[in-house]
Structure 1
């Protein structure tokens, strides 16, 4: 996805273009390696990296991009398209349709990643700089891999604690996504692939893109991490309030990792691995 043109990319007024410079030292959190020195928006690390001096039009344009890439417009459009071909999200027994969820998730992943890449390029930014960063991807992938067991154990402990201390947070009807999962090995493997691509890959690239826009135009780093974590949790409301709380905290952890390392590789590997373990757990042990 990289662009090797020697010419400098056009700069939208108020934007923070992604530079090809080496990342700033870890001991200087005030420097952001994704900023071109002469073109950076003024950021004050003391107030959560809040951008200053951004024109209203630029903020509104960024807000439109955030809404477009929130998954709501794309999933509504794909749902309407699938429905036009006779696909229905709900089976006759009232449960979610496995094939519909698979088709919707994979189509949304492809559409959304393409849309985000196009919007980045339209502003003269490189998707590879935003998502891969300047750190060695192999090392980032290893860090993500090493985080999976710890995250899985913490989530299991948290869910069990919520089951005991706040049983009302769990949906009385159970988790519809777990109930939807067929018992056949082939279907389990397919669903595992879906949660890796639509969950691990798409959601972490999406998180980085949305956080990048909020940092640039809409409130800064702290606002971005908090708002996107709440939204990520609420996006799992269908699974129950316990899932909202747990996934919101997970989203915050992955967002903080991205902010610290400016690479989506680690969060992608960590998220994908966690999702794969969850599918394996449900297929072997049930809910």
Structure 2
């Protein structure tokens, strides 16, 4: 008979063991039904939360009787990103806490290789992601899918110096860099790694989360979906190489978005003019 004390000790030691392996060991799995319920509820709350800041502008636009699509201000658009991600992460956190697996999925302890090596790795990963943008972007354009077009978002960044700062801090570092890594490489990879048929198949887990990461970027066109999905593959692999630790993924993701926003802003301000 299993000693209850041994089971309790095992549960307490899961976090320590998860620092050494990924996917982390677990005493229990989750079913496909529960997985779908978790993904659907997180996604619903994310998109519902994203719509909330835009509702006043949409109601005002509808009342005006104007035709065409409404244009949202940079601040309203920024708010949709931040609010949606915040609420989505809250739901993801509640699901993880229900199973006592927050620290397993969201491994934000000190990096196993130390901060110096992790920062260096994140710098290399940043360069790799830009290389993916260039090479995969050229490939999808060559086959007719079109280059990824992020101008819809980037045009919001240049509205004012204040908005640029808000987008860098609120989106590049918090909603995208931290939020998307917690949601996709953290919550989603942990969930996928625990269901029947995917346990012990980390590469299949990485591929599925990459597909789900790419699809919401359809506003950039199919080229954007493919390029972003490829980036998701790389970041999933990076998390696996870091034994589940998310810091390298977060720093690299945030750095890429910050550099892209800064370059676009500098170009719009004419700082690159000869």
* TM, length-normalised to structure 1: 0.72
- The alignment yields a C-alpha RMSD, in angstroms, of 3.3
Residue of structure 2 in register with 1:51 after alignment: none
Aligned partner of 2:246 among 261, 264, 277: 264
| Cα distance change of structure 1 residues 97 and 149 upon mapping to structure 2, 3 Å threshold | same
In the TM superposition, what are the counterparts of 1:45-124 in structure 2 within 5 Å? Answer: 58-69=31-42, 72-83=43-54, 86-88=56-58, 94=69, 95-124=71-100
Give the direction of change, closer, same or farther, for the CA distance of 1:118–1:243 in structure 2 (3 Å limit). Answer: same
C-alpha separation in 1, matches of 2:237 and 2:98: 27
Asked if 2 retains the 8 angstrom alpha-carbon contact of 1:74 and 1:108, the reply is yes
The 5 Å alignment of 1:106-185 reads 106-127=82-103, 130-132=106-108, 135=112, 138=115, 139-160=117-138, 162-163=140-141, 165-166=142-143, 168-170=145-147, 175-185=151-161
Unaligned residue ranges in structure 2 (runs of 5+): 1-6, 269-274
Tell me how far 1:144 sits from its aligned partner.
1.4
Contact 1:141 1:266 in 2 (8 A): yes
- Which of 205, 218, 224 is equivalent to 1:224? 205
SS in structure 2 opposite 1:88?
helix
Greater fraction of residues in helix: 2
Matched residues, number: 247
TM-fit CA distance, 1:146: 3.3
Deviation string 1:21-68 (CA, Å, 9 cap, x unpaired) is 3744xxxxxx657215xx366xxxxxxxxxxxx6xxx33122211222
Check 1:110–1:75 CA distance in 2 against 1; reply closer, same or farther (3 A cut). Answer: closer
Give the structure-2-normalised TM-score.
0.75
Q: 1:222/1:158 Cα in 2 relative to 1: closer, same or farther (>3 Å)?
A: closer
- Structure 1 unmatched runs, 5+: 1-6, 12-16, 25-30, 42-53
